[in-house]
Structure 1
Amino acid sequence: MNGSRQRVRQWRWGDWRRQTGVRALLVTALCRLLGLVIRPSPRGGQPLPSGHLLAFVVIKPLALGDVLLTTPFLDALRRAYPQAHVTYAVGDYARPALANNPHIDDVLPMGRLGVPRSYDLRAYAAFVRALRARRFDAAFVLDRSPLMALLPYLAGIPYRIGLHSRGRGFAHTTRVPVREGQREAEEYLRVALAAGVPPQGARSHFYPTPRDIEAMRRLIQEFGLARVGPLVVCAPGGGVNAGAIDVAKRWPPDRFARVADALISQLGAAVALAGLPSDASSIAAVRRAMHYATVDFGGKTSLGQLAALIELSDLFVGNDSLGGHLAACVGTPSVTVFTTTSGDVYAPYAPSARWVQAEPDGTGGRADVDAVIRAALLALRDWRGDPADERLHDRSRRRRQDGGEP
């Protein structure tokens, strides 16, 4: 199993992806009725057509972290079908998560399709036409939305494999039941397995460009972060996506400050605060609460530069958000703090990923802080004290040996 868990309480808090109510019940009932009409059996009893020169489309509109969780699936698909043409249909907001990905051939922009409460019937119909024009052999739907499941059916794509949650995969020819409480990345890999694609050895991927890496290397030197102690990137923000804002996912800033201070005092760490422009208030609050100096990169980096900064670091600590998934992709040990969502489900997909389930309102107090510090110290137990340039060289060399260089 990828990742390790420092401490997990029984998940009992809200998650916008699992909301229920009258509307949800009506949608479920309608989907199950439609499932009786649309035949699920694939043509010829096979989940995928035969041959190697095939055209596949993978559909996942949102969000940045969720799209990164699909990259192990892309890894497995490309290894099984090296000659296939793989297109990824993704929304504008999440598209940067696929930059430089060697396992896809192109991207089919979905605009704002998939963004909650912003569906446009004309845009939806136009995207169906775009799918139909490409004449794909098979579609993989890594999304629970019934409207996403319906897209390849309306486009006439003959083989449709995807998640089947509460009847919402009614339009798929191969319906993969979702196991509640299981790892999200592993659910996507079960879609691959259902299509006859071996998932063994698949891992997360994101590749910052050499220019991004060089830019962040210079900044690390400029700000004096390449010290004797480890370099730790801390991202206290998150919870903001297109059409969905859940800042309750954020662990209180003073807790992150205590963790950062502890790593500085115990290990002589250099701490860099990072995140998106929407994280500015949380980053500022952490800086105010800290007793030691830190460097603020919040809102000052592109996605590729943020990934490069994390790759050059020795540890990432943050909320259930983008940064932890980037750490999994670039091979940096991480500790993710989960509050309103479950680490058992949404943890980054990597052997070096750890997580702590904390109280959502910060009432866990010292116990939660101590758990995160312990997880961070465990993640750094193999830290060797190499300079930042040598750390990057070692990681790049290991990546080439793994065959993951684009």
Structure 2
Amino acid sequence: MEKFLIINPFGIGDILFTTPVIRALKENYPDSFIGYWCNERVRDLLKNDLRIDKIFALSRGDIKRIYKKNPLKGFFTLLNLLKEIKKEKFNASLDFSLDSRYGLWSKLSGIKKRIGFDYKNRGRFLTERITLKGYSARHVIEYYADLLRFINIELCDKALELIVSKENRARAKERLAELGVAPSSLVLGIAMGGGASWGRDAAYKQWPAKNFARLAGKLIKDLGASVVLLGSADEKPLAEVMLKASICHCEEPPKGATKQSKRDCLPAGRQASLPKFTLSEVEGVARNDGGCVIDLTGRLGLEELAAIIKELKLLVCNDGGPLHMAVALGVKTVSIFGPVDDRVYGPYPPSSDHVVIKKDLPCRPCYENFRFKGCFNEKKCLEDVTADEVYEKVKTLL
């Protein structure tokens, strides 16, 4: 029996980009055993995929955090993980990490055939490698497909997949009903965050919250939509800006607003296009006649998030994990891309169900070869995208 270990320690999008690889492995080696080495944060994206036999959820970053608190514990955590991997006697690893340490750890785990990318000489522990300067002009999935040729697989079906359990789908329907969303409602999603892996630079990937607020107002006022706000706990301030702007028609930044939320608060005179909401008795829901905004940011795990996205008619979002979750779930999207090249990291495969809004500026993309060069143009690529422009794209897909 062939035994394969997929290594991808990155975020939501990168994990979903490997789902065509998982499918191809099982189609070409039906009796194979597939292991997946990922970080703990994304484990739940994979747990319902029955083609994956074992998940090793511990990345270099996870180990580093443990090591900083307790070096001895960090060392033994890594040692125990490598022992677990070695027990499985994998024939080959498909290493998408771009990190020499994973190649070394695979070697120490007894994996004879180690396939991956040689980026900046980080592939020195690999046995089969493709030299890589960066991802450019073609999608990440196309690069992943190149590695499969080392095990005689031609990747033909490149569609993303994300499996949601029946239980989670039922719970998502119940949750929306509890929040007052009727089964016949037009339910649209907004994910204002994205770019968690960028750390302090994440804001450079995000369309301003004030624009999302204006868009939500139009979706509710003109279409009678129920708008669900989605995101992580770290993105809660963005949702608060939007809700407070919509509910309070704030002339000044809301009391207690963060620096980021103060920048994004709607300026005086621009609230007229937003319908006035009143808070319902259900926490996190703002309503007006015919529509509502439901704030679920920071309240959902990945499995629950996937289930809620599955219930949407369409998702409006930045470049980030929720975008690729929606694509994988067959939900239409309108995404706003700033510094990142959508040809490389955008919705895939290309489809009329997924519209990318971007501005053709000479300074973009400014994220190339895995590096953000910094913004010297005041986020013009995102600031120049208007709520009206996004709204028109949404209407074409509904």
Deviates most, 327-336 or 113-122? 113-122
What residue is the counterpart of 2:101 in the other structure? 147
TM-score by length of 2: 0.74
1:185 corresponds, among 126, 134, 141, to 141
| Kept in 1: contact 2:164–2:303 (CA 8 A) | yes
Residue 86 of structure 1 deviates from its aligned partner by: 0.3
Specify the code of the residue in structure 2 equivalent to 1:89. W
Would you say the 8 A contact 1:64–1:95 is kept in 2? no
**Do 1:169 and 1:175's aligned partners in 2 also have CA atoms closer than 8 Å?**
yes
**1:258 equivalenced with 2:182 (yes/no):** no
The equivalent of 1:373 in structure 2 is 391
Q: Which residue of 2 aligns with 1:158?
A: 112
Q: Which residue does the alignment assign to 1:42?
A: none
Matches within 5 A, 1:77-226: 77-110=25-58, 112-114=59-61, 118=65, 120=67, 122=75, 123-178=77-132, 180-181=135-136, 182-226=138-182
2:369 corresponds in structure 1 to: none
Partner of 1:11: none
Deviation at 1:306, TM superposition (A): 1.2
Percent identity among equivalent residues? 25
Compute the TM-score of the two structures, normalised by the length of structure 1: 0.73
Q: 2:355 is matched with which residue? A: 354
Cα distance in 1 for partners of 2:135, 2:218 equals 36
Q: CA deviation at 1:77?
A: 1.4
- Kept after mapping to 2: 8 A contact 1:62/1:115: no
The structure 2 residue matched to 1:281, chosen from 233, 237, 253, is: 237
Which among 3, 6, 9 is matched to residue 61 of structure 1? Answer: 9
Alignment of 1:8-87 (within 5 A): 53-87=1-35
Change (3 A) 1:289 1:166: same
Aligned partners of 1:141 and 1:148 also within 8 Å:
yes
Aligned residue identity for 1:164: D
The answer to whether the Cα contact below 8 Å between 2:207 and 2:383 also exists between their aligned partners in 1 is no
> Contact conserved, 1:92 with 1:109, CA < 8 A, in 2?
yes
Query: C-alpha offsets along residues 174-218 of structure 1, whole Å, 9 cap, x if unaligned?
Result: 213446323122222222234221211232122222121111112
The alpha-carbon deviation at position 93 of structure 1 amounts to 1.8
In structure 2, the residue matched to 1:234 is: 190
- List runs of 5+ in structure 2 lacking aligned partners: 68-73, 247-273, 276-286, 288-292, 365-374
AA aligned opposite 1:275 = G
- Pair 1:165–1:371, CA change in 2 (3 A): farther
SS in structure 1 opposite 2:227?
strand
CA distance in 1 between counterparts of 2:143 and 2:345 reads 11
Judging changes above 3 Å, is the alpha-carbon distance between structure 1 residues 227 and 156 closer, same or farther for their aligned structure 2 residues? closer
> Is residue 216–residue 305 contact of structure 1 (8 Å, CA) maintained in 2?
yes
Equivalent-residue separation in structure 1 for 2:170 and 2:342 (angstroms): 33
Which amino acid is 1:57 matched to?
Answer: L
Q: How far apart, CA to CA, are the structure 2 residues paired with 1:324 and 1:208?
A: 16
Q: Give the number of the structure with larger relative contact order, counting CA–CA contacts within 8 Å between residues 6 or more apart.
A: 1
- Alpha carbons of structure 1 residues 269 and 106: separation in structure 2 relative to 1, 3 Å: same
SS at match of 2:121: coil
Counterpart AA for 1:378:
T
1:258 is displaced (CA, Å) by 2.0
Contact 2:193 2:206 in 1 (8 A): yes
CA RMSD of aligned residues (A): 2.6
Q: Is contact 1:72–1:203 with CA below 8 Å preserved after alignment?
A: yes
For 1:116 and 1:279, the matched residues in 2 are separated by: 25
Deviation at 1:127, TM superposition (A): 3.5
Whole-angstrom distance in 2 between the partners of 1:335 and 1:355: 6
The 3 A distance-change label for structure 1 pair 374 and 183 is farther
Q: Aligned pair in 2 of structure 1 residues 316, 116: CA closer, same or farther (>3 Å)?
A: farther
- Mapped to 1, the partners of 2:42 and 2:79 lie a distance apart of 21
Change (3 A) 1:138 1:119: farther
Deviation at 1:244, TM superposition (A): 4.1
> How big is the shift at 1:72?
1.8
| Structure 2: distance between partners of 1:340 and 1:368 | 17
Q: CA 1:165–1:353 in structure 2 vs 1: closer, same or farther (change >3 Å)?
A: farther
State the distance in 2 between where 1:115 and 1:332 align: 32
Q: How far, CA to CA, are the matches of 1:114 and 1:198 in structure 2?
A: 32
CA contact (8 A) 2:188 2:312 kept: yes
Unaligned runs of 5+ residues in structure 1 are: 1-52, 381-406
Q: Which amino acid aligns with 1:100?
A: N
Q: Distance in 2 between matches of 1:371 and 1:193?
A: 42
What per-residue deviation string (whole Å, max 9, x for no partner) do you get for residues 233-257 of structure 1?
Answer: 111123325x945432222101111
